[in-house]
Amino acid sequence: MTNLQPPQQSSFCVRFVTSQRDPTTDPLVLWLNGGPGCSSLDGFLSENGPFHVDSDGSTLYINEYSWNKVANMLYLESPAGVGFSYSDSGDYITNDKEVADNNYLALQDFFRKFPEFATNDFYVFGESYGGVYAPTLSLKIADGPANINFKGFGVGNGMSSQYYNDQSLVYFAYYHGLIGDTLWANLNTYCCAYGQCNFYSNNDVYCQESLYKVYQVIYDGGLNLYSLYMKCAGGIQKNFGRIQAEMKNIFQFYKFDTKMAADTSRNFAPPCINDTAQWTWLNRADVRTALHIPENVQGWELCSQTISRTYGRIYTTMHDFYLALLSKGLRVLVYNGDTDMACNFLGGNWFVRALNQVKTVDYQPWICNNQVAGYYEQYENLTFLTVKGAGHMVPQWAPRRALQMFESYLSNTPY
């Protein structure tokens, strides 16, 4: 495991873990958590990394479903200011384009330091707002010098389209029993006309009032936004206010106010998520020393309010990025845990269908451990896949199925 600190004005925290199988020939995969403003060390320590932290943050234990069983894994803290990464200038204002540029510089720096991996098949995977990071970086790689053996990218529960995410969330809420018939009738009366509904950017005041009630159910109702059927860590009273990164991802057109409770907790994890183990372990003095974290660098937080508050969102959809990348013959996997509400599976599916690719495999179940693991469909080089009963962080909450999915994608074999 190696630390890197790439581009000019910023120091990016990178963790590199070689494959347990054959590092010389196995693929190299870059992993990016989202937010924007959330740390990829969460992916490393609670999702698909080789080690996880026990509940009190005292020790590490081996993750038997780590993705480095089949690939060399590279975890990048992005943008600067996230996790242990930092800006030498102290300027943390950034945007989608700048993040893609800096991530590309960091990647180039990695290959300069480790040229022996330049011939390995290379993939980019992003989760949540990584649904923007992954395709924007991927296009820079695909259009750049041919010094990376780039094969494709994957997006898990990604923010691929604000329009489809907002539109589908209302249907998700109704058909999962979160809103009643009265509210549903009002939504159809005030937000729909001539057989078409606009939940994304509707100027009708009564429609907006109805949508705000949907918003309140999802964000202020005590539900776990990231996994509908899981408990909210800390209980309902803790569901408000630590960080609004994901809240900015939904219904942006309306700029709804979210109830914010006073928060005396020690960090800014997303609502209903318990990051105590990672936070405790990473902020231990001996761990910081072992990871070569300079004394002047901030303590680790799962998500940075500084980045979330000032981040400049440029793209509302990844549609054109996907079409450009697919036209280059790159392989793409879009997967969703189907109980997530932050980036729900229905919006992901609608986004994929809107790319108008030729379908080669119709929607059908895939199997893991002799059980239905979810469903998938194939569009030439593009796969859409669901993970049954999993939430936003699929490798964390469905680790065995996530590893099988990942290995099938890398080997280009049936799911």
Options 42, 308, 340, 408, the catalytic residue: 340
- The residue segments making up the domain with residue 94 are 2-159+314-411
pLDDT at residue 200 in the model: 97
Statement to judge: residues 213 and 355 lie in one domain: no
d(CA 122, CA 191) in angstroms, rounded, equals 44
Does residue 93 form part of some domain? Answer: yes
Under a CB-based contact definition with an 8 Å cutoff, are residues 274 and 239 in contact?
Answer: no
Backbone angles phi, psi at 335, to 5 degrees: -125, 150
Q: Structure pTM?
A: 0.93
Statement to judge: residues 155 and 177 lie in one domain: no
Backbone angles phi, psi at 167, to 5 degrees: -60, -45
| Ordered alpha helix ranges (H), 271-374 | 276-282, 285-290, 305-310, 319-327, 345-353
pLDDT at residue 4 in the model: 43
Q: Which long-range contacts (CB under 8 A, 24 or more apart) does 179-186 make?
A: 179/213, 179/214, 179/217, 183/210, 183/213, 183/214, 186/210
d(CA 262, CA 1) in angstroms, rounded, equals 39
Options 11, 66, 78, 128, the catalytic residue: 128
Does residue 212 form part of some domain? Answer: yes
pLDDT at residue 258 in the model: 59
**Which residues, listed in sequence order, are joined to residue 87 by a DSSP beta bridge?**
10
Under a CB-based contact definition with an 8 Å cutoff, are residues 268 and 302 in contact?
Answer: yes
d(CA 49, CA 309) in angstroms, rounded, equals 28
Statement to judge: residues 242 and 327 lie in one domain: no
Q: Which residues of the chain have pLDDT under 50?
A: 1-9, 238-243, 261-265
Statement to judge: residues 217 and 322 lie in one domain: no
Statement to judge: residues 137 and 174 lie in one domain: no
Statement to judge: residues 139 and 202 lie in one domain: no
Is 166 annotated as catalytic? no
CA atoms within a 13 Å half-sphere pointing along the CA-CB vector of 270: 24
Options 66, 96, 227, 392, the catalytic residue: 392
Is 292 annotated as catalytic? no
Statement to judge: residues 106 and 127 lie in one domain: yes
Statement to judge: residues 174 and 137 lie in one domain: no
Considering its fold, how many domains does the chain have in total?
2
Statement to judge: residues 196 and 155 lie in one domain: no
DSSP-derived 3-state class of residue 410: helix
Q: pLDDT digits over 369-412, tens only?
A: 999 999 999 999 999 999 999 999 999 999 999 999 999 999 99
Statement to judge: residues 168 and 103 lie in one domain: no
Does residue 13 form part of some domain? Answer: yes
Does residue 305 form part of some domain? Answer: no
